[in-house]
Amino acid sequence: MNRFRRNLINVLTSILVVIIACFSFMSILLIVFNFTHVKTDVYQFSMYPTLNANVTDSNEAGDMVYINKYAPIKNHDIVVANVSWNAKPVIKRLVALPGDTMRIEENANDYSLYINDELFYAIGKTMKTPSGDEESTRAHFESIRNYILLHGEDGVWTLDKDEYFLLGDNWVDSNDSSQHGPVKRNQIIGAVDVIIHKGENKINTLLFSLLKLTFSF
């Protein structure tokens, strides 16, 4: 009986040590995460369907994102930036970096946007349009084309050493670089690391995301 009690105590002690170790580990992760990240809410539809605002009340937040303030940003990241043309920070897709080239090709009713000579978006009779209706998509292409023609040479524009081009995934509601031009690096707060969709359990999603970021699985 004494041996059984000792074994039981040893097992319970081991379980307690594991629980404390896990709790301490997650606490450290949360402390580091809160130091390196900033939380912001999604109020606009310019990144739909990747990110969703509140469809029933535009004054209420939809999805929630955490922004990494210190990690290097790379092309196609979702970034948050402070801009002069919007009262709140905007959440957009980073589509072109300093030194990248952008050009528009037009052929009848077909429009194509190339970045570094790779097809980025295309619309037309046989091409899939970006998120949004075709009229808004064409208007965005017109805005980008006009900017390229105004600032580039021979229909090709190369971003300067401190220029970053931002576009929304949803071109119906996106107020972005197609109208206002590129942003500077010091305007970009950081890249989105964690997305918590409206209705998800915030704690579970955040903890899973922390483990995923830590172990990269």
List per-residue pLDDT tens for the chain, 217 residues long. Answer: 576 677 667 767 778 777 777 777 667 767 777 777 888 888 788 888 888 876 555 566 678 888 988 889 998 999 999 999 888 889 999 999 999 999 888 776 677 888 998 888 777 654 555 555 667 777 778 888 888 888 888 888 999 999 999 998 887 778 899 889 999 999 999 999 888 887 777 777 776 666 666 665 4
What's the pLDDT at 217? 46
Please give the structure tokens belonging to residue 4.
């059984």
CATH fold of 2-100+159-215, please?
Answer: Umud Fragment, subunit A (2.10.109)
H-assigned helices in 66-176: 134-151
Q: What are the sequence ranges of the domains in the chain?
A: 2-100+159-215
Quote the pTM value.
0.77
CA 90 – CA 75 distance, rounded (Å):
17
Peptide bond connecting 49 to the previous residue in cis, omega within 30 degrees of 0: yes
Task: Report in angstroms the alpha-carbon separations of 60 from 38, 51, 63, 201.
Answer: 19, 14, 10, 18
